[in-house]
Amino acid sequence: MSTTEEQYIKANENYVKNLEPERKDLPLKPSTPVRRLGVDSQPCNNPNLACTPQVIIITCMDARIVPSQALGLAEGETFVVRNVGGRTVEAIRSLVIAQQFFGTKEIIVLHHTDCGLLRFKDPQVHEKLKANPPRKNVPIASTVDSMVFLPISDTQVTLKEDVEFLKGHPLLYEDSQITGWIFDVKDGKVTKVI
Ligand SMILES: [Zn+2]
């Protein structure tokens, strides 16, 4: 076992030791307590909590973002889908499952400043892969050319496009509450854009 893996295990031992007892009984279905959001309540699967409908956050894999903490949501209170850029076209599979099996109607698209996807376009990734293929003697040209990496030119424009994509998606409920926000990686501030 590597030193890093040993560190993960040691850190996890502390994590397990310090877990709140209630944490062990968290339900599979997230529920967002009204005490945090201060909005109208409706019944949920935890009889001890008044809950809003569940929330699903779609955001970038950027390590500077802990989306639940940024929005004041604790463990067990929100679904989170992450991919590079927080692009909704890549998240659609998870969104459909969240709606069909958990009834999640509130969808927060959380993009951010200084995203890595602002730094390149598809041809650059294609050229990089072809110039130095990850596996030796395995042809990849056609696979590479067929892949899109969903780069971003303007954060606000892409955020609006991603929200509109979900609003028009035939597999999502028409009455879904879908909003777009930007997280500032410098100061942690979130701003609602759409
Ligand atoms: Zn990013």
Residues 6+ apart with CB under 8 A from 51: 31, 32, 33, 34, 41, 42, 43, 44
- Structural domain spans, the chain: 3-113+152-192, 116-151
Residues 6+ apart with CB under 8 A from 182: 110, 111, 112, 113, 155, 156, 159, 190, 191, 193
pLDDT in tens, 140-151: 999 999 999 999
The CATH number of the structural domain formed by 3-113+152-192 is 3.40.1050.10
pLDDT in tens, 7-59: 999 999 999 999 888 777 888 888 766 544 444 444 445 544 445 458 999 99
188 to 7, 66, 67, 180, 192: CA distances (angstroms): 28, 10, 10, 16, 13
What are the residues whose beta carbon lies below 5 Å from ligand 1 (ion)? 60, 62, 115
Tell me the binding residues.
Answer: 60, 62, 112, 115
Full-model pTM: 0.87
User: Count of CB atoms within 10 A of residue 99's CB?
Assistant: 18
Å from CA of 107 to ligand 1 middle:
18
